[in-house]
Structure 1
Amino acid sequence: MDNTQIPKLLTTEEVSKMFNIPVSTIGDYGRRGVIPSIKIGYKRRFVPEDVAEWLRRKRDKSIEKSEELAVRKPELVEVGGKAYRL
């Protein structure tokens, strides 16, 4: 037998509390692969490092999007003699 450490797995309820998101939503995210998870029997479990990496990717994507929006110049469209900013 090797000395590989088995990580503590998080339950759906624990992840739900971490993010203040309903348990049903976390379960759905796990089933759909939105948040990486493992199915053990009929229970879904989450590896803490996988959840942390998922959160980092979400944060990075959010930062990129907000930077893109900050740099984007507003586009003006004229409708009926009035100018609207998009």
Structure 2
Amino acid sequence: MEQTEFSASDSLKTWSLLVALLLVGVLTVALGVQRSLALWVIFLAATAQAYVIGRYYMRLRSEDVMIYVLALFPVALVIILAFVLTPDVAMHR
């Protein structure tokens, strides 16, 4: 049987994880890490935060396949858009 209610310790662990991921992003900038690496770290931390929020606070557990499809579809569109617009942006001076 799936647990439907969260205990105080579960909420505290989840909140602590979100704060730790936030601190990773802040410390990346504060320590002066190279810009491209800092962006990757910040975006990966934000992706992990979105997953944690969706999984534990919004209780999106039973829709695993649909969640991945809904998450990957916009990512695929952004990648396609980037490849389509790159030649126009590169040639415009």
Instruction: Give the alignment's TM-score, normalised by structure 2.
Output: 0.35
What's the TM-score once normalised by structure 1's chain length? 0.37
Larger radius of gyration: 1
Query: Which one has a larger percent helix, Structure 1 or Structure 2?
Result: 2
Identify, as 1 or 2, the structure richer in strand: 1
